[in-house]
A = this chain, B = another copy of it.
Amino acid sequence: MTAEPPFDVPTPEEQERMVEALLFASPEPLPTAKLAERLPPGCDPRAALARLQRLYEGRGVNLVRSGGAWAFRTAPDLRFLLSREVVETRKLSRAGIETLAIVAYHGPVTRTEIEEIRGVSVSKGTLDQLLELGWVRLGRRRETPGRPATYVTTDAFLDHFALESAADLPSLADLRAAGFLGEPTVQENLPLPDPEP
């Protein structure tokens, strides 16, 4: 069964497996003729389709035919399970990701400090967005004039980025070694973040 002689017609069970895999992997419903084309010579997809349709009857997924083409579909009574599934993901903006990186490496950090590092002002919307995402939360107020709020990252942040702790973020030297930066320059000698609190 491992090496197939070229002109051996697969058994009905093998044909069933093949049709099952083809329909599962296909990005669109497949007409019977297309299936026959993809199968080894001598196969009859109709017999396999009929058996598969019986096999999946009453299961969580059914084999359905629409307009001459075949596809697996979630059983209609279970569609309520999938309803929450539709999530559109959008990349965080550049301002957002930079602000997040600064909070991760330098937190607890005030808004003014974030602006100093980014070299541009941080809009309120950017921080609100990170707060709303649950990746950033408010830390202790800084005991300096004005008692500004500070920001720190959350456990949800660690979870999303598969990090064990914020202290595990690579140092700038690690980043350079991993290929994230260009050639070493004088920057190397600047006092760099010690992500340790």
Chain A residues engaging chain B, CB cutoff 8 angstroms: 1-2, 16-22, 24-26, 38-39, 58-61, 72, 74-75, 77-78, 81-82, 84-85, 111, 122-129, 131, 137-141, 147-150, 154, 162-165, 167-171, 174, 176-180, 196
Q: Are B167 and A141 in contact (CB under 8 A)?
A: yes
Q: Are A39 and B81 in contact (CB under 8 A)?
A: yes
Nearest 3 Cβ contacts at the A-B interface: A20-B60, A17-B60, A21-B60
Q: Are B125 and A139 in contact (CB under 8 A)?
A: no
Q: Are A179 and B124 in contact (CB under 8 A)?
A: yes
- Chain B residues positioned under 8 Å from A147 (CB to CB): 171
- Contact with A128, one of B85, B127, B139, B178 (Cβ below 8 angstroms): B178
- Chain B residues positioned under 8 Å from A126 (CB to CB): 179
Q: Are B82 and A179 in contact (CB under 8 A)?
A: no
A-B contact pairs, 21 of them (CB 8 A): A16-B60, A17-B60, A17-B75, A18-B60, A18-B81, A20-B59, A20-B60, A21-B81, A22-B60, A26-B85, A38-B81, A38-B84, A126-B179, A127-B177, A138-B164, A138-B169, A140-B165, A141-B167, A147-B171, A154-B162, A177-B196
- Chain B residues positioned under 8 Å from A24 (CB to CB): 60-61, 72, 74
Q: Are B141 and A168 in contact (CB under 8 A)?
A: yes
| Minimal beta-carbon separation of A1 from chain B (angstroms) | 8
Cα distance A74–B93 when bound, in Å?
A: 37
Cα distance A131–B75 when bound, in Å?
A: 38
Q: Are A171 and B149 in contact (CB under 8 A)?
A: yes
8 other A-B residue contacts (CB within 8 Å) besides A18-B78, A24-B61, A137-B163: A2-B77, A21-B75, A124-B178, A127-B179, A128-B180, A129-B179, A138-B168, A177-B196
